[in-house]
Structure 1
Amino acid sequence: MITALRNLFGSTIGKFIALAFIALIGVLFALGDVTGNASFGGFGSANVAKVGSREIGLGELRERVNQAYNQARQQQPGLTKAAFVEGGGLDQVLDQLVDGMAFEQFTTDLGFGVSKRQIDGRIADIPAFAGVSGKFDQKTFENFLRQNGMTEAQIRRELKQQLLLEQIGVPIGSIPRVSLGVARPYAALLLEQRQGQALFIPASAFAPAGDPGDAALKTFLDQNRSKFTVPERRTLQYATFDRSAVPVPAVSDAEIAKAYKAGAAQYAASETRRFAQVIAPDQATANGIAAKVRGGSSLAAAAQAAGLSASTTGELTQTAYAATTSDAIAKTAFAAKQGDVLGPVQSGLGWVVARVEAVTVKPARTLAEATPEIRTELGKNKANEAIVDYYNAIQDAVNGGASIEEIAADRKLKVEETPALLPSGRAPDMPGFTLSAEFAPMVSGAFQTAGEGESQLATLVENEKFAVYSVKSITAAAPPPFAKIRTDLLTEWRYAQGQKIARDKARAIAKATEGGKKTLPDAAREAGAAMAGVQPIGGRRADLGRDGKPVPPELALLFSMAKGSVKTLEVPGNRGWMVVSLGQVDRPDPKAIEPGRVAAIAQPLSPAFGNELVEQFAAEAKRRVGVKINKDLVEQLRKELTGTTPVGE
């Protein structure tokens, strides 16, 4: 939800993606207020941090971590909360809360500010707060806040922080300009080339063939629960409605007559004309062009001969043509016949010579003649109004706490139910199940709600189709029954056992090659025929990750090693180990690099230097306002979130 909201805000700050401070502060990540439980002389019993004059409560931090986890889980369906926290999720959320509060207080003390009108404008521009009409809708805004457990004051605070960041962070980050002299060492580093060797030792070559029995496999499962855990799934109830379900009042004759009267000018007789014309700088030139045209030459040819060019207008009324020339010229032009040559006549831009290319006369239409068109237009308007009213009525019912069953019964909608779904819409227990792609907004919303039973609305097709839904039940993340995954457990256990032997082999080979005692191929041969062949690896540092491609782990390791060294590298998933040897390093002399190449490298370095300035500003903000962290309470929360130890507020 946090990332989605950040994207919806569409801030111009996003253009400065090189400023890691944006991610550091995470202004829009910390969606909510601080607890305000100030305690005299230090921390309150449930405050994990004090930032200047504000405090961050334990419950506040717990909620932020849960929100961040829910968002991360949408991107990585297999992610467990324990893995998220152990991977730094808790620390990142706390850092973002602290940095955002410190930044706001520091910049406010410096005299920077944000007006209510600026925040109002930013709120009105957020697509998430738009109603069915596409414009800001107060009810949609209030429903968004309710669904996400926020208040208007909270979101205004976050937007204030974002606007302050735009005022200060972007200018600071844009200051540096890297000189060629500073850029040369970096250019040499990027042009550095390395050559080495890599040996892959597969775990499968040493995997035991036997079965250790259920007890050993269950112990292995307990030790690797996260690997076999199926993420949280949610069963949804939903009912769809579209324009076909909404009754639309018939268009009456009185309404048609009223519309006909209001649009009298539209149905009155009209005449439009299309002109070819040229504007000459003086009367003599214009006279010459007009004479040639009247003599049979085309206006375009006559204008070209005079060094000018003719243009052709679209279909214009007399009023529209007068706006581009003058009332007198337009009056003359609309009195002429098709094919007549007009002018030269003086206008504000010069001397005009024109030719009437086409005359289109549209006769007046009676009420009876205009009725079909008016009825169609009024029907569309009524249909749009009806779907908006219908949607708003259901939204009011949702806001009032009505269940999906009550809403469906009241509106005569059919309630359907999904199997237990992952955030991706896949149902692990029903491999053949397929949910239409149009339901993606509904599934996404269902995984952003806090619990079961609460009705929600989702737009499936913009302005056309919608769904009212609720989470019927939540299946907690857990491994499947032992019997169901025993075969997979056995396979993974065998790989894990083989991985231990592969590790020992890799370390022995690396030790055997230390100091150049043996070459990597020789050490590999002595280790046994089960080894895969030694492969050459290498390349240029600047080519790593080119075009967004992931960098192979062995190459990443190669470019972080000292020349002549040998390192071991574990292959994820218990699939083996690698031994990497670095033989040759070629780095050009910085002074010998062409200035053009150095300049090309200096340009993208500027944002990196700007990033450092902004990070220094952020650090100074925290130093000035003062930050204290209750590390013991943070660790207690970490244990709670990873399922190690419960903690109460």
Structure 2
Amino acid sequence: MITAIRRLFSSALGKFLALAFVVLVGIAFALSDVTGNSAFGGLGGANVAKVGSTEIGSGELRDRVRLAYNQTREQQPGLTMAAFVESGGLDQVLDQLIEGAAFEQLANDMGFGLNKRLVDGRIADLPIFAGVSGSFDQAAYQAFLRQNGISEAQLRGDIRQQLFLEQIAEPIGRMPRVSAAMAQPYAALLLEKRRGSATFVPASPFAPTSDPGDAALRKYLSQHVARYTIPERRVIQYALFDRSAVAVPAVTDAEIAEAYKANAPRYAASETRRFAQVIAPDQATANTIAAKVRGGASLTAAAQGAGLSAATTGDLTQTAYAATTSAAVAKTAFTAKQGDLLGPTQTELGWAVARIEDVTVKPARTLAEASGEIREELAKNKANEAVVDYYNSLQDAVNGGAAIEEVANDRKLKLVETPALLPSGRAPAQPAFALPPELAPMIAQAFQGGTEGEGQLATIVENEKFAVFAVKSIVAAAPPPFAEIRGGLLADWRLAEGQKVARDKARAIVKAVEGGKDLAAAAREAGPNIGTVQTIGGSRAELGQNGQPVPPELALLFSMAQGSVKTLEIPGNRGWMVIALGEVDRPNPKDIDPKRVAAIAQPLGPAFGNELVGQLVAEAKRRAGVKINKDLLEQLRKELTGAAPVQ
């Protein structure tokens, strides 16, 4: 469950450069600074932490945790807030806020600065602020700030922090290179081989068959509520519209005539010519090439004879050719016939010898002849403008607080209401319900923020199809009614009880092995239903090959001391494993092939870079001074996990 969380916080450098939680980069979610009035622990107000001169309010931390949770839930749709917090999400986000604030203060102390134009440029590049045309839209920017309750100063502060991190952390993180001598011990570790044995103690044979009653099952549910909780669901009302819903004004003859007049050069008679030419470094060489061509040789062959090469231009007008030569040369070139040789002519690059390869003459087109083309172009432009105007009118309507029903009725759009949906688009209460796959962008946007009844627009097909929608209601994450899940609770309770027996048997096997017995004999003495002893092991280099997850038993085997024996719990109350490490074979670092050492040294550089960045951030925190209100942090933890009412 916590795989995605760990991946987001996998390295000191990575978590700064990703900035998924500290900075708003393409995420439509509010990061507001909400504080209370009560005092705690000398920090002042409802501040969960103080970093130097920066205070981190509990409201700000709460909102940023929700942002982190929403992003992680995109990868794990079934993740609940309680599970996210219990997996370390709250602490990780607080660490990022503390480290980011400390790092910004360190950057200021070191004399780093940012101007307003740099921050403006980063804001303009954020996709969340792009309009229908794809470029920055001031209306979309203001609407985002207004809808999400975030001030422009807050947004700019976040982006300033990002830019400081990019300026300082990224160069440091990419700087180190690891020498071969330093890489040798790591190479030896990678080539290490281990051999051990393992046995499995299943839980199911020891599970009771009795029914403990509702009271015991309700208690079990309260202890494992996160496991049975259905994530937050949202009921969405939406209406689709595309170009067919937009009335496009007809193109008039007057508009065609005006466009024809405004673009007169486009429809006038024109002539373009294509040239093959060679540039010689001096006049003598150019004269030699020209003489050979006039004698019957091709321009290409003549150029090659002088150690040069000929090139062919595109179709050029007289004005374009004059820009590369001169007005006089271009005039001569456009009065000559196809196949004529020109030059040598002195240019800025040298002496040019050219041949006219092709002449294309386009006669002038009358208004009547160009009308069809102009009408088609004007119609396309009008259609694009009409779509943009229609989209903007809807945006203005929802920004003005119009209800989704009102917007749909006014424009005669079909309003559709979904059942309560998960972020994946599934409806737990209606398993047969299937949302059209094309609406995935709308669903993702609906779960990124906003409040009930707040209208929004989503792009379904770029520049073609759109949706206006609103979240009608939000169903909070909660377990289903007890009666609906009693059967599953009973089965899980039985396995949990069997897991306790399996744990005790696994511990007894460990104790017997530590007392001098071999694993096979200890497993037999533990009683029936114990799995046979299997040999496990391999080389460390084989772990996680091709991106495959490392089996838990092998991960434990490669972290144990030689001769030790340990237990490993199998998730899902499936049982326990007992693992004993026998042989460890690690090569002498000096005997390893230098090529292999060099191959290992290369990826070690970023790891050392991450370490340097981590040390720099630790120093920033030390200089700034960090105080954490543990009582307030624990209160927020309970609030987010549902263990205490929201204060």
What is the TM-score with the length of structure 1 in the denominator?
0.91
Q: 1:163: which partner in 2?
A: 163
Residues 192 and 585 in structure 1, CA contact (< 8 A), matched pair in contact too: yes
Tell me which amino acid in the other structure corresponds to 2:200: F
Deviation of residue 493 (structure 1)?
Answer: 3.1
User: Is residue 453 of structure 2 the alignment partner of residue 453 of structure 1?
Assistant: yes
Residues 12 and 614 in structure 2, CA contact (< 8 A), matched pair in contact too: no
Query: What per-residue deviation string (whole Å, max 9, x for no partner) do you get for residues 33-58 of structure 1?
Result: 47597989933342222222332223
Tell me which amino acid in the other structure corresponds to 1:590: P
Instruction: Say which is worse superposed, 524-533 or 396-405, in terms of deviation.
Output: 524-533
Residues 234 and 472 in structure 1, CA contact (< 8 A), matched pair in contact too: yes
Shift in alpha-carbon separation, 1:645–1:487, aligned structure 2, 3 A: closer
1:256-335 to structure 2, matched below 5 A, reads 256-335=256-335
Residues 251 and 378 in structure 2, CA contact (< 8 A), matched pair in contact too: yes
- Cα separation, 1, equivalents of 2:646 and 2:123: 37
Residues 563 and 585 in structure 1, CA contact (< 8 A), matched pair in contact too: yes
Q: 1:345: which partner in 2?
A: 345
Q: Specify the SS of the correspondent of 2:335.
A: coil
Q: 2:569: which partner in 1?
A: 570
Shift in alpha-carbon separation, 1:539–1:53, aligned structure 2, 3 A: same
Residues 21 and 68 in structure 2, CA contact (< 8 A), matched pair in contact too: no
Q: 2:533: which partner in 1?
A: 534
- Cα separation, 1, equivalents of 2:34 and 2:471: 29
Deviation of residue 19 (structure 1)?
Answer: 4.6
Residues 24 and 99 in structure 1, CA contact (< 8 A), matched pair in contact too: no
Q: 2:593: which partner in 1?
A: 594
- Cα separation, 1, equivalents of 2:432 and 2:580: 47
Q: 2:370: which partner in 1?
A: 370
Instruction: Say which is worse superposed, 67-76 or 375-384, in terms of deviation.
Output: 67-76
User: Is residue 247 of structure 2 the alignment partner of residue 247 of structure 1?
Assistant: yes
Deviation of residue 525 (structure 1)?
Answer: 3.8
1:202-601 to structure 2, matched below 5 A, reads 202-209=202-209, 216-514=216-514, 517-528=516-527, 530-601=529-600
Tell me which amino acid in the other structure corresponds to 1:603: Q
Deviation of residue 106 (structure 1)?
Answer: 3.0
**Structure 1: where are the runs of 5+ without partners?**
5-13
Q: Specify the SS of the correspondent of 2:100.
A: helix
Q: 1:82: which partner in 2?
A: 82
Q: Specify the SS of the correspondent of 2:584.
A: strand
Query: What per-residue deviation string (whole Å, max 9, x for no partner) do you get for residues 144-168 of structure 1?
Result: 2233331111100001111111222
- Cα separation, 1, equivalents of 2:20 and 2:171: 16
Shift in alpha-carbon separation, 1:18–1:100, aligned structure 2, 3 A: closer
Instruction: Say which is worse superposed, 498-507 or 232-241, in terms of deviation.
Output: 498-507
Q: 1:11: which partner in 2?
A: none
Deviation of residue 23 (structure 1)?
Answer: 6.5
**Structure 2: where are the runs of 5+ without partners?**
25-29
Q: 2:607: which partner in 1?
A: 608
- Cα separation, 2, equivalents of 1:489 and 1:583: 41
Q: Specify the SS of the correspondent of 2:549.
A: coil
Residues 453 and 472 in structure 1, CA contact (< 8 A), matched pair in contact too: yes
Deviation of residue 361 (structure 1)?
Answer: 0.6
Shift in alpha-carbon separation, 1:21–1:587, aligned structure 2, 3 A: farther
Deviation of residue 467 (structure 1)?
Answer: 0.9
Deviation of residue 441 (structure 1)?
Answer: 1.7
Q: 2:27: which partner in 1?
A: none
- Cα separation, 2, equivalents of 1:24 and 1:191: 35
Q: Specify the SS of the correspondent of 2:478.
A: coil
Query: What per-residue deviation string (whole Å, max 9, x for no partner) do you get for residues 503-557 of structure 1?
Result: 2232222222226x23323333444553333332222223322332211111110
Shift in alpha-carbon separation, 1:252–1:441, aligned structure 2, 3 A: same
Deviation of residue 490 (structure 1)?
Answer: 3.7
- Cα separation, 2, equivalents of 1:175 and 1:130: 35
Q: 1:620: which partner in 2?
A: 619
Residues 19 and 610 in structure 1, CA contact (< 8 A), matched pair in contact too: no
Identity of aligned residues (%): 72
- Cα separation, 1, equivalents of 2:228 and 2:42: 44
Tell me which amino acid in the other structure corresponds to 2:542: D
- Cα separation, 1, equivalents of 2:53 and 2:216: 55
Q: 1:27: which partner in 2?
A: 22
Deviation of residue 126 (structure 1)?
Answer: 1.0
Q: 2:180: which partner in 1?
A: 180
Q: 1:7: which partner in 2?
A: none
Q: 2:630: which partner in 1?
A: 631
Deviation of residue 188 (structure 1)?
Answer: 1.9
1:109-188 to structure 2, matched below 5 A, reads 109-188=109-188
- Cα separation, 1, equivalents of 2:19 and 2:270: 63
Q: 1:8: which partner in 2?
A: none
Shift in alpha-carbon separation, 1:34–1:609, aligned structure 2, 3 A: farther
Shift in alpha-carbon separation, 1:404–1:178, aligned structure 2, 3 A: same
Q: Specify the SS of the correspondent of 1:460.
A: strand
Deviation of residue 96 (structure 1)?
Answer: 2.1
What is the TM-score with the length of structure 2 in the denominator?
0.91
Residues 32 and 63 in structure 2, CA contact (< 8 A), matched pair in contact too: no
Q: 1:59: which partner in 2?
A: 59
Deviation of residue 295 (structure 1)?
Answer: 4.3
- Cα separation, 2, equivalents of 1:330 and 1:322: 5
Q: 1:92: which partner in 2?
A: 92
Shift in alpha-carbon separation, 1:53–1:346, aligned structure 2, 3 A: closer
